[in-house]
Structure 1
Amino acid sequence: MVQDGTFELFCDPSTSEIRAIRDEPEFALTLNPPLPTYQVHPLQQHPFQQHMKHDDPPVRSSVYYDAEEDGEWVAGGDDFISASVSAFIVDAITSHYYVSGSVQFHTTEMDIYRGARGGDLDGLRTRSPHTSLEGCAAVVTEEWADGAAYQCHLLTAFDDLFIAFLVFRVELDDRQTVTVGLSTTEQPVGDAGDPFSVRYRRSAAKARRSLGLFALIFLDGQTP
């Protein structure tokens, strides 16, 4: 991983093992890992399996960027499963920017009942894990070791003037509440007390396009 948003994979010729970021055994990726069943019916397929792309399968990893120590990529964290190898790569690139502190992110979050407004929010987050929202450059869908489900929709391209993305997160112990977040590196305008959508207008405009009517709740504060 380097600063310009590129990514490197390695293949061990003796074992055909795929490694990410560093050509070391502990950075190996597990392709097509066993998928957890705690959030789906025992007779149903896991969404990652149901929508699996055979040329871009799910992947399990414990690699993460450690900003608190030496500011480098390390292995040995909690396992997480990405819906595809490409999703893992996009997550690694965006995580580097977000966690490293190389750029400043501004974030707003809201906890919302998944069935609000007739289930519009539920419809956005229960589609194929590979389907990004309208106008988004990429989507990352993952499950963490603690059972939390996470989806990130990249609102901008990597060569844009700023980075912005929408996040949906659901915890294992509360599947009815969705934490919705918007993060951006856009430079703010106006006063510190202005609403987020006023201070970060271009990011809010992109989020509105992707969220549709649900933006009225998340960005404008309407009652769910």
Structure 2
Amino acid sequence: MQQPQQQQQQQHPFSYIFVGRRTYYLFSSIKDILRLRATCTWLRDLFGAAQLRVRLSHSLGSQAGLRRAVNGQQVQLLRFDDDHFGAHDLLAAVCVVEEGPWGEMGEVIELAVQCRNCDLPVILTADDINTHATKTAYVSAPRVLAQLKMVGSHFHFSDGSCLQLFHHNGEVRAIKDQPGQPGFRLEVDPPLPANHLYRQHRQPHDPPVNSRDIYWSPYHVRWRVGGGRFTQASLSSFAKRVGGGRVDGLLTESPHTPVAGCSTTVSRRQLVLTDCSHNFVAWIFISESGNNDVSVRIETTEAAVCESGLFKHRFPLTTQLARVALGAVAPYVFDGLIPTAVISIAMRVTIWTTAAEVKMPQLRRTAATDRSIDLSILGVSLGC
């Protein structure tokens, strides 16, 4: 009995600070733990797998961007397979969770769930974490890119492929790792003109990305690239797309600005109207084609309540959601209102109302109607 007492007396008094679960959170940053593990070898046992697993659970639960309310219950979007993690992997997992917010990636995961490309929660394994060789490699990349490299492989498409990113010799490629095929290459944070909207609202952790249009071709039964290269507002926009007046404001405000009534946004103003609580997906595409021409297209996978009739009657839930996002423009889109006053044309808007059915990995349009109306009465102007 005397020997254990002697060993207890030999413990450093500072070690008693770490006794108990609550005092473990005296360290506000994982950097404190890493520094102590590196410099105080006698404290390493106090930061073993059990303690790190508790820390990981606490840190993950503190990420508001990784939680969603579904049917009145809080649902976790992401977790780790930490039951099979050793201390090294647990430490790495705590690092990636605490290094930055996960809000953008939470939106990507939520949209992937709506499109049936993944199930909740997304479970990251040790292999996912180890796509980054070191902590330095993780923090040296834009945060959303670093997160997408771990999470993207869990977004599965119908052909068995996934949204995987490959990083070699300074080049980033998506879905296919083909050095000889430049079409799948992503140019992260490309140079942009000084007056470019995406440059003005650039976010270092989620910068713009330049790429060609990467799409699945049912006819060729493979992934293809088409058209010229174009720039997405951000990396998270790229991941979510794989595609005075209200319309003017939606086009010219920051692409990172949330839009009322929408769960998320994608560049070129693709507004997602639904979230995890809906059993269908609906969105609005708004794009400018020059000469003050703007296209507004609404797509939905909502089941039609009747076989024929106006879009607002066939798809009432989508119409209700879209009215919130479009604001004062909504009556001109859904109700067929035509300005009666004689006003000089400031913008011609083409309205598409589309029903779509899920055909993964992309949506296939099944019906469309096109009508053009003058929205100059709304005071809409792009300043062109």
TM value normalised by structure 1 = 0.72
* Candidates 334, 342, 358, aligned match of 1:219: 334
Choose 15-24 or 1-10, whichever is displaced more.
Answer: 1-10
Q: 1:183 to 1:129 in 2, by over 3 A?
A: same
Query: In structure 2, do the counterparts of structure 1 residues 3 and 217 end up closer, same or farther at CA, with 3 Å as the change threshold?
Result: closer
Equivalent position SS for 2:245: helix
Residue 299 (structure 2) aligned to one of 169, 183, 200: 183
What CA RMSD, in Å, does the superposition of the two structures yield over aligned residues?
2.3
SS of 2:223's equivalent?
A: strand
CA distance in 1, matches of 2:263, 2:271: 8
| Gap change, CA 1:4 and 1:159, over 3 Å in 2 | farther
Residue of 317, 320, 333 corresponding to 1:202: 317
Distance of 2:255 and 2:240 partners within structure 1: 14
Q: Which amino acid aligns with 2:311?
A: F
In 2, the alpha carbon distance for the partners of 1:17 and 1:123 equals: 35
Query: How many angstroms does 1:219 deviate by?
Result: 1.3
Gaps of 5+ in 1: 38-43, 96-117, 142-149
2: distance between equivalents of 1:61 and 1:3?
24
Alignment of 1:1-224 (within 5 A): 4-5=117-118, 6=155, 7-12=163-168, 15-25=169-179, 26=182, 27-35=184-192, 45-67=195-217, 69-75=219-225, 77-92=227-242, 95=243, 119-141=245-267, 150-157=268-275, 160-172=278-290, 174=291, 176-192=292-308, 194-223=309-338, 224=375
In structure 2, how many angstroms separate the alpha carbons of the residues matched to 1:81 and 1:46? 11
* Alpha-carbon distance, 1:66 to partner: 4.1
Give the match's secondary structure for 1:22.
Answer: coil
Give yes or no for contact 2:251–2:287 (8 Å, CA) kept in 1.
no
- Computing the radius of gyration over CA atoms, which structure comes out larger, 1 or 2? 2
- Alpha-carbon shift at residue 68 of structure 1 (Å): 5.2
Q: Considering fraction of residues, name the structure with more helix.
A: 2
Query: Deviations for 1:101-131, whole angstroms, at most 9, x for unmatched residues?
Result: xxxxxxxxxxxxxxxxx52321222110122
Identity percentage over the alignment? 34
TM-score between both structures, scaled by the size of structure 2: 0.43
Number of aligned residue pairs: 180
1:166–1:207 Cα contact (<8 Å) kept: yes
Matching residue of 2:29: none
- What's 1:113 paired with? none
Distance 1:178 1:47 in 2: 17
